[in-house]
Chain A
Amino acid sequence: MNTNLVLVLLLAPFLGFLFNVFLGKKAGKNIVGIVGTLSVAISFAVTLYLFASAGQEPVVLNLFDWISVQRFDISFGFLIDQLSILWLLFVTGIGSLIHLYSISYMHDDEKMHSFFAYLNLFIFFMITLVIGSNLLMMFIGWEGVGLCSYLLIGFWYKNQDFNDAAKKAFIMNRIGDLGFLIGIFIVGTLFNTLDFTTLKTTITTATDINDFWIAAAALALFIGACGKSAQIPLYTWLPDAMAGPTPVSALIHAATMVTAGIFMLTRLNFLFDMAPSVQNIIAIVGACTALVAATIALVQNDIKKVLAYSTVSQLGLMFLALGLGAYEIAVFHVITHAFFKACLFLGSGSVIHGLHGEQDMRRMGGLKKAMPITFITMLIAALAISGIFPLAGFWSKDEILMTAFHKNPTLWVIGSIASIMTAFYMFRLIYLTFFNSFRGTEEQKNHLHESPSLITLPLIILAILSFFGGIISLPGHSWLNEYLSPLFSKASHEAHSLGSTEYMLMAIATIGAIIGIGIAYKKYLKDNTIPTEDAEITGLTKVLYNKYYVDEAYDVIFVKPINVLSNYFRDSVETTLSALVFGLGKVTTRFALEGKKVHNGSVGLYLFAFVIGIIAILTYLFLQQFFT
C-alpha cells in the first residue's frame, strides 16, 4: 500500500476541517454538512480499501524525524496493521453516520460550520491516534481528541456551566495524560525506543527485564487510559460531558474517543502481559467501575445521563476483559458497544430533538406512537446492551463474563450484577420514554413528530449492526480472534469450546438480563411509577442520584484546597517575599534617618568626632606597636 493512500485517509478530514473553518460561514449550511460528511466518508472508503487489501504484515510509514532525544529519535510515522484498521473501520464508519445525522440535527444552529469543523478535526486526531507508529504520535492524537472533546462539550459556550464541564473534561484528561507521559518516559528509558514494532520485538525478546519499572510503566500508562476512558477515579468528567450536542456524545463520548484507552492497552498488550500485578489492578478497577456506574445509572432521570453512566460501566467491563488479558474480547465489546451505544445516543438525540431539547425522562413517555422508528431502533439497541440472545451485546458481554468466571469468580459476580443492572436501567429508560402516556407540556405534545430521514437512517443502520454485530466473533470459530491474532504476544486464548459450563453461564446471563427487564417492566410499565422530583428523593436513592457525592468529594479534596492555597500564596507569601526585599531598603533608610540626627550641624560635635578619630587611630597604632 502506498503513502499517499494513508495521507488521504488522514488529511481528508483535516481538509474538511480547514474548509469549514475558513469558508464554512460563506458556504452555507448544506455545503458545510456535505463537505464535512464527505471528508469522513472518504476516509471510510480508504479504510475499507485498506481492510480489503492489507496483508498480514503491519506496514510502517515514516515521514520524517520529529523529536530527537539523546537515547533515540522519534519519527513522525504511521503504523497500519490489523488493530488500527479495525479501529479505523468503526471510527470512520460510525463517524460518517454521525456526521450524516448531524446535518439534520444541527441544522438550526447558527454555528453549524464550526460544529462540523470540530467534528472533522476530531476524526483527524482520532485517526492520528489510531495509526500513530509510536507512543508520541499516539499522544498527539490522544491530546488532540481531548482538545476536540473540550471544544465540542463547550460548543454552546454562552452557558458557563457547559464551559465548566468542558474544562473539567480537559483537565481530568490532562491528569491521565501526565500518567501517559510518565509511562512514555519510563518506556523510553527502559527500551530506548517508543516505536511500537520495535518495542514489541525488544520486550518479547528481552531477557533481563526490570519487573518493577515495567510495572511502573504499565501502571502509568493505565492511568492515562483511565483518564481517557473514564475509569475510577477519573470517570466523573464523562457524565458532565453530556453538556455537548448529542451527536458529540454519541461519537466522542460513547463510540470512539473513550475507547482510546482500550486501544492503547491493546496496542501495548505485550507490555502489560509483562506486568501481571498491574493487570490485576486493571481488572479490579474495571469491575468496580462497571458496578459503580451501573448503580448510579439506576436512578438517573436525564436520558443522556443514564446513557453516559451506562457507557462508563460498559467501559468498565472492557477494562475487566483487558485486565484478564483477553484483549480481543475487549476489542469485540468495544465494537459491539460502539454500535448499540451510538444507536442509543442518536435515538435519545432524536427524542430530544422531537421534544425540543427536553432531556428529563419524567417529562416524556408514550412516544412510541409518535416516533416509531426511533422506538424500534432504540429497543433493539437496548436489548443488545442488555445482552439478550442473539444480539451483538450478548456475545461480547458473555465472552467477558465467561473469561472472568474462568479467571476469577468474584469478578464474574460483580460483572454479572452490573449487567443485570444494565438490563434494568436500559428498560427503565425505554419504558419511561416510550410507553404510557405523554407527561410533557401540551405545547410539546402538539409538535410530537418522527425525526427526518437523515436522522432515522443512521439509527436504522446502527440498529441492524447492533443486531447482527455479534457474528464477527461467535464462540467456537471467531473471525475476530484470527484477524487480531498477529498482534498478541501470548497465543491468544482460544474461544471457549462450548462446554456445559459455558452454556450454563450463557443461561445465567440471559436469565439475569430477563430478570432485570422484568423488574423494570413491573415497576415502570405495570405500576407506572414515575421517578420522584429531585426534592423528594431520599435515602439510598438520593446517594445514588447524587453519584455518591464523588464530585463534591473531589471538589473538597482537590479543587478547593488548590484555590485556597492559591489565595494564600497570592495574598500572604507573595507580599511577604516582596516585603523581605523591600525590608532591606527600609532598614537602610532607617539608618539614614538615624544618621541625620548625628549630623546635627554643631561644630563642636564635628571636631569631637575628629579628635576621637585621631585618638582611636593613634591608640590602635600604639597597641600594634606593643603587641607585635
Chain B
Amino acid sequence: MDNILNQIGIENYIFLSVILFCIGVFGVLYRRNAIVVFMSIEIMLNAVNLLFAAFSTYHQDAQGQVFVFFSMAVAAAEVAVGLAILVSIFRNMHTIDVGNLKNLKG
C-alpha cells in the first residue's frame, strides 16, 4: 500500500523525532524557568509520540497508536502534578526559577 510513509521513508521520521527529542533535552538543560522546562519535557514526549505513530504505520500495527494515548494521558497526569508542586513552590518562594532550588545540596 503506498502511503505517505513510503514516499518519505521511516528514517526521516526517526531523524525528525530524534532532533525534536534533543531539542527537548536541551530545553530542559538550559532553560531555568520551570514552565519552559515543563514544555521542553512535553516536546520530548511528543517527539516520542510522533515516532510511535510513525512506527505503528510502518509496522501496519495499531498498538503503537494506542500506546500514544497512554503516554499522552500519563504526560497529562504528570504535568498536573508538576504544576501543583510548582504552585506550592511559588507560594513559598515567590519564584519559578529552577535555578533557585539549591537549599538541598552537598
Residues of A in contact with B (beta carbons under 8 Å apart): 596, 599-604, 607-608, 611
Interface contacts (Cβ under 8 Å), in number, total 28
Given known contacts A611-B25, A611-B29, A604 and B99 CB-to-CB distance under 8 angstroms: yes
Q: Would you call B20 an interface residue if the criterion is a C-beta within 8 Å of the partner chain's C-beta atoms? A: no
* B98–A601 CB distance below 8 A: no
Taking the closest CB of chain B, its distance from the CB of A251, in whole angstroms, is 80
Contact with A along B18-52 (1 / 0, CB 8 A): 00000001001110100000000000000000000
Task: Knowing that A602-B99, A611-B29 touch, tell me 19 more A-B residue pairs with CB under 8 angstroms.
Answer: A596-B106, A599-B105, A599-B106, A600-B102, A600-B105, A600-B106, A601-B101, A601-B104, A601-B105, A601-B106, A602-B101, A602-B102, A603-B101, A604-B29, A604-B30, A604-B98, A604-B99, A608-B29, A611-B25
Q: Is the CB of A603 within 8 A of B105?
A: no
B interface residues (Cβ-Cβ under 8 A, vs A): 25, 28-30, 32, 98-99, 101-106
Q: Which residues of the other chain, B, contact A600 by a CB distance below 8 angstroms?
A: 102, 105-106
Name B102's contact: one of A601, A607, A608, A611 (CB within 8 Å): A601
Residues of B with C-beta under 8 A to A603: 98-99, 101
- Write out the residue numbers on chain B whose beta carbons fall within 8 Å of the beta carbon of A599: 105-106
**Hey, which chain B residues are within 8 Å of A611, CB to CB?**
25, 29
Report the nearest B residue to A608, measured CB to CB. B29
Give bound CA distance, A607 to B101, whole Å.
14
Chain B residues within 8 Å of A601, by CB: 101-106
6 closest Cβ pairs, A-B complex: A601-B105, A601-B102, A596-B106, A600-B105, A603-B98, A601-B104
Q: CA–CA, A611 to B103, complex, Å?
A: 23
- In the complex, chain B residues whose CB is within 8 Å of the CB of A596: 106
CB within 8 A of A607: which of B29, B99, B106?
B29
Q: Which chain A residues lie closer than 8 Å to B28 at the CB level? A: 607
22 contacts between A and B (CB under 8 A): A599-B105, A599-B106, A600-B102, A600-B105, A600-B106, A601-B101, A601-B102, A601-B103, A601-B106, A602-B99, A602-B102, A603-B99, A603-B101, A604-B29, A604-B30, A604-B32, A604-B98, A604-B99, A607-B28, A607-B29, A611-B25, A611-B29
The complex places the Cα of A602 from the Cα of B101 at a distance, in Å, of 7
* Nearest CB on A from B93, distance (A): 14
CA distance A136 to B99 in the complex (A): 85
Could you tell me the distance in whole angstroms from the C-beta of A472 to the nearest C-beta in chain B? 96
* Shortest Cβ distance from B102 into A: residue: A601
A residues near B103, Cβ cutoff 8 Å: 601
For residue B32, which residue of chain A has the nearest CB?
A: A604
Q: How far is the CA of A603 from the CA of B29 in the complex (A)?
A: 8
B98 to chain A, nearest CB (A): 5
Complex Cα gap A307–B13 (Å): 117
Complex CA–CA separation, A601 to B104 (angstroms): 6
Complexed CA–CA distance, A604 and B25 (Å): 11
Residues of B within 8 A of A608 (CB): 29
Give chain A residues whose Cβ lies under 8 Å from the Cβ of B32: 604
Interface centre among A599, A603, A607 (most CB of B within 10 A): A603
Least CB distance from B51 to A in Å reads 17
Q: State A604–B30 Cα separation when bound (angstroms).
A: 7
* Cα–Cα distance between A603 and B37 once the two chains are bound (Å): 11
B21: shortest Cβ distance to chain A, in Å?
A: 11
Which of chain B's residues has its CB closest to A595's CB?
Answer: B106
The complex places the Cα of A602 from the Cα of B25 at a distance, in Å, of 16
In whole angstroms, what is the CA distance A607 to B28 when docked? 8
CB distance from A279 to the nearest CB of B (A): 82
Complex Cα distance, B29 from A600, in Å, reads 16
CB-nearest residue of chain A to B22: A611
A507: min CB distance to chain B, Å: 104
Q: Chain A residues with Cβ under 8 A from B102's Cβ?
A: 600-602
Instruction: Compute how far the CA of A550 lies from the CA of B59 in the bound complex, rounded to whole angstroms.
Output: 106
Instruction: Please indicate which of the listed interface residues B32, B102, B106 has the most CB atoms of chain A within 10 Å of its own CB.
Output: B106
- How long is the Cα–Cα vector from A604 to B37 in the complex, in angstroms? 11
Report the separation of the CA atoms of residues A603 and B102 in the bound assembly, to the nearest whole angstrom.
9
CB closest chain-B residue, reference A597: B106
Cα A214 to Cα B17 in complex, Å, equals: 96
Assembly CA distance A602 to B102 (angstroms) = 6
Contacts of B104 in A (CB 8 A): 601
Q: How far is the CB of A3 from chain B (nearest CB, A)?
A: 84
Q: Nearest chain B CB to A526's CB is how many angstroms away?
A: 100
Q: Which residues of chain A have C-beta atoms less than 8 A from B98's C-beta?
A: 603-604
Please report the C-alpha to C-alpha distance between residue A142 and residue B29 in the assembled complex, in whole angstroms.
Answer: 88
Q: Looking across the interface, which residue of chain B has its beta carbon closest to that of A614?
A: B25
Cα-based distance from A189 to B43 in the complex (angstroms): 90
